[in-house]
């Protein structure tokens, strides 16, 4: 395999473990914490997880290893979207497993949860693992979005586990995958299979976060990667002084990624979906808010700027959600065929006008034609609008243009408005992990094995105190059921890990809210530059602004 110079250099990077895990396997013991209960709906969650509910929080500490020696055969899967550092979780798991007993075995099931069901796997060896140390991507075994949640699937997994003599399964995934890890752990315990299940918190979206999990891995690298490019664009905008850049950023639902990038780059505008929902803002109001900044700047000759838009924004706009619900209804069942048979867009438009309420039609009519057509033509397998495909960066660029035309006609705007649009998502999901993610992920994997070795199941690998140097990080485990509550999903009450949205009274949003008026009017851009891997710790090991603000004493 040909490799880049950086890749070669990264192979020899030694990820930093929390101090308590640094003295060798023989010197790691368990410190029991308090028994846990779920964040809400305690009785219901307890009834659903009789074998795994209420267990103690634990941390590891320096002391004689008292775990029972037994041969471990561990299966690992990567689940969902790629996130930088996933390879290091596998490497940390492998190293701890082999350091405990070189006869222990790690099987990587390929292509996500489906690999476990199809029994498609590879046995990890030193040579194999060494090619992936401190590198981005999930290509070590691939990933997938199959959900592991039904009893027939669990029965197959039990058979596969029996065939290989699996003692444990590690699921590296987001909130849904870890919810499923908890359900699988309960199933395995209830059926006395002897298979433990451990989860690891992954997602660039940063929405798997709670009082126990300070951040999901990948968020640090992805946001630094996007921020580097946003900073470059800001500098270009400030050099050419002729474009407004509308940049959409990944984050399926929550706006953590966009907010973090704003804290790193200080753009003129940053939309936060959770605020839009709280204020029940309309598309027109949001466009006016952006147009205010464009006008103030343009009227004094600064015809440039940068606006950040979270991927999930439109779903937070109440009138837009209503419109989507009506469109889904309008095209339910065989009505889709009826609609598709209409010969021209004009005929289709007339059909839409007849079917939507006046309120939703008012929203629909202000959308650019490309987006109007997209809403009706590109549907998911269930026939629903694919909201995540909506090009909201183009939508807002167009809506703002219309607002400025009105202002120009009224004589309140004299600037020029040229836009460029961008979408950053896949560019950051497989970046070389930052030192933070390299260290954090390796620690999560190493720690996951210690949880297995000490017999825990239904736990999430937990490494905390993350804004301190790695030496002071705290490694341990948290029963996944502690993070669960009951939510309505697809018409059913389900036990799930609550998705963490941006908190409007949290420190990161408050900092942004205090500064945004200045950023909107003036040019306060920050140019963070590329992630640095070698050099002073304050440059190379810095965490995200989000984490630093959340943990500021």
- Our finding on whether 429 is near ligand FBP (CB under 6 A) is yes
The mark string for 311-340 relative to ligand FBP (x by CB under 6 A, - otherwise) is x-----------------------------
- Our finding on whether 81 is near ligand FBP (CB under 6 A) is yes
Between residues 228 and 326, which has the closer beta carbon with respect to ligand FBP?
A: 228
Q: Is 205 a catalytic residue?
A: yes
Residue 485 buriedness (CB in 10 A; 0-12 / 13-18 / 19+): middle
Using the rule CB under 6 A, which residue among 48, 78, 83, 324 binds ligand FBP?
83
Q: What is the edge-to-edge ordering of all strands in the sheet holding 121-123?
A: 28-35, 56-62, 474-479, 459-464, 196-201, 168-173, 73-78, 105-109, 121-123
Residues 295-314 that bind ligand FBP (CB under 6 A): 311
- Our finding on whether 174 is near ligand FBP (CB under 6 A) is yes
Q: Tell the smallest beta-carbon distance from residue 253 to ligand FBP (Å).
A: 8
- Sign of the dihedral through C-alpha 347, 366, 254, 228: positive
Total chain residues near ligand FBP (CB under 6 A): 13
- H/E element, 428: helix 426-429
Token pair, residue 268, equals 């003129």
Across the strands, what pairs with 244?
A: 305, 419
Token pair, residue 493, equals 């009450």
Q: Tell the smallest beta-carbon distance from residue 483 to ligand FBP (Å).
A: 16
Catalytic residue among 95, 176, 205, 212: 205
Using the rule CB under 6 A, which residue among 30, 45, 166, 250 binds ligand FBP?
250
- Our finding on whether 111 is near ligand FBP (CB under 6 A) is no
Using the rule CB under 6 A, which residue among 18, 80, 84, 476 binds ligand FBP?
80
Does residue 544 sit in helix, strand or coil?
Answer: coil
Q: Tell the smallest beta-carbon distance from residue 426 to ligand FBP (Å).
A: 7
User: Can you tell me the distance from the alpha carbon of 550 to that of 510, in angstroms, rounded to the nearest whole number?
Assistant: 11
Decide if 547 contacts 259 (C-beta within 8 A).
Answer: no
Between residues 80 and 477, which has the closer beta carbon with respect to ligand FBP?
A: 80
Q: Tell the smallest beta-carbon distance from residue 487 to ligand FBP (Å).
A: 16
Choices 37-45, 116-124, 203-211, 501-509; region in contact with ligand FBP by CB under 6 A: 203-211
Using the rule CB under 6 A, which residue among 205, 220, 302, 439 binds ligand FBP?
205
Decide if 457 contacts 198 (C-beta within 8 A).
Answer: yes
- H/E element, 6: helix 5-11
Decide if 152 contacts 159 (C-beta within 8 A).
Answer: no
Between residues 201 and 495, which has the closer beta carbon with respect to ligand FBP?
A: 201
User: Can you tell me the distance from the alpha carbon of 274 to that of 313, in angstroms, rounded to the nearest whole number?
Assistant: 8
The residues carrying an active-site annotation are 205
Interface positions with ligand FBP (CB under 6 A): 80-81, 83, 174, 203-205, 250-252, 311, 388, 429
């Amino acid at each position: 395999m040909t490799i880049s110079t950086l890749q070669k250099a990264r192979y020899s990077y030694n990820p930093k473990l929390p101090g308590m895990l640094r003295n060798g396997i023989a010197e790691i013991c368990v410190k029991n914490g308090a028994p846990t209960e779920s964040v809400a709906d305690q009785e219901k969650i307890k009834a659903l997880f009789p074998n795994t509910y209420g267990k103690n929080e634990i941390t590891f500490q320096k002391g004689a290893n008292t775990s029972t020696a037994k041969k471990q055969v561990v299966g690992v899967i990567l689940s969902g979207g790629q996130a930088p550092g996933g390879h290091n979780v596998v490497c940390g798991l492998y190293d701890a497993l082999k350091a405990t007993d070189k006869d222990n075995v790690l099987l990587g099931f390929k292509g996500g949860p489906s690999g476990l069901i199809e029994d498609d796997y590879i046995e990890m060896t030193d040579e194999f693992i060494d090619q992936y140390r401190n590198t981005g991507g999930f290509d070590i075994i691939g990933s997938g979005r199959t959900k592991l949640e039904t009893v027939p699937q669990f029965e197959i997994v039990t058979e596969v586990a029996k065939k290989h003599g699996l003692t444990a399964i590690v699921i590296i995934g987001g909130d849904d995958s870890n919810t499923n890890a908890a359900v699988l752990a309960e199933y395995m315990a209830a059926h006395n299979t002897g298979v433990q299940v451990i989860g690891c918190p992954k997602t660039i979206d940063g929405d798997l976060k709670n009082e126990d999990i300070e951040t999901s891995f990948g968020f640090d690298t992805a946001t630094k990667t996007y921020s580097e490019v946003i900073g470059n664009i800001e500098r270009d905008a400030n050099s050419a002084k002729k474009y407004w850049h509308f940049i959409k950023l990944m984050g399926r639902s929550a706006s953590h990624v966009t907010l973090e990038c704003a804290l790193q780059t200080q753009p003129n505008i940053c939309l936060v979906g959770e605020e839009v929902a709280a204020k029940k803002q309309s598309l027109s109001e949001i466009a006016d808010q952006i147009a205010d900044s464009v006008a103030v700047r343009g009227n004094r000759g600064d015809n440039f700027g940068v606006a950040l838009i979270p991927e999930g924004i439109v779903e937070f706009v109440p009138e837009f959600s209503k419109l989507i619900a009506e469109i889904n209804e309008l095209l339910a069942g065989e009505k889709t065929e009826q609609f598709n048979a209409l010969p021209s867009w004009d005929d289709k438009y007339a059909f839409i006008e007849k079917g939507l309420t006046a309120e939703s039609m008012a929203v629909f009519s202000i959308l650019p034609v490309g987006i109007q057509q997209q809403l009706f033509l590109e549907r998911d397998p269930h026939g629903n609008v694919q909201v995540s495909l909506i090009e909201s960066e183009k939508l807002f660029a167009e809506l703002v243009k219309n607002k400025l035309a009105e202002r120009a006609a009224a004589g309140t705007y004299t600037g020029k408005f040229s836009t460029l649009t961008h979408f950053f998502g896949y560019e950051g999901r497989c970046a070389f992990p930052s030192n933070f993610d390299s260290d954090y992920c390796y620690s999560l994997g190493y720690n996951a094995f210690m949880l297995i070795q000490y017999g825990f199941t239904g736990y999430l690998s937990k490494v905390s105190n993350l804004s301190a140097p790695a030496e002071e990080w705290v490694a341990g485990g948290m029963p996944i059921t502690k993070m669960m509550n009951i939510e309505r999903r697809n018409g059913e009450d389900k036990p799930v890990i609550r998705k963490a949205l941006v908190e409007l009274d949290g420190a990161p949003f408050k900092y942004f809210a205090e500064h945004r008026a200045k950023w909107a009017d003036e040019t306060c851009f920050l140019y963070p530059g590329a992630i640095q891997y070698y050099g002073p710790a304050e440059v190379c090991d810095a965490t995200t602004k989000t984490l630093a603000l959340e943990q500021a004493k």
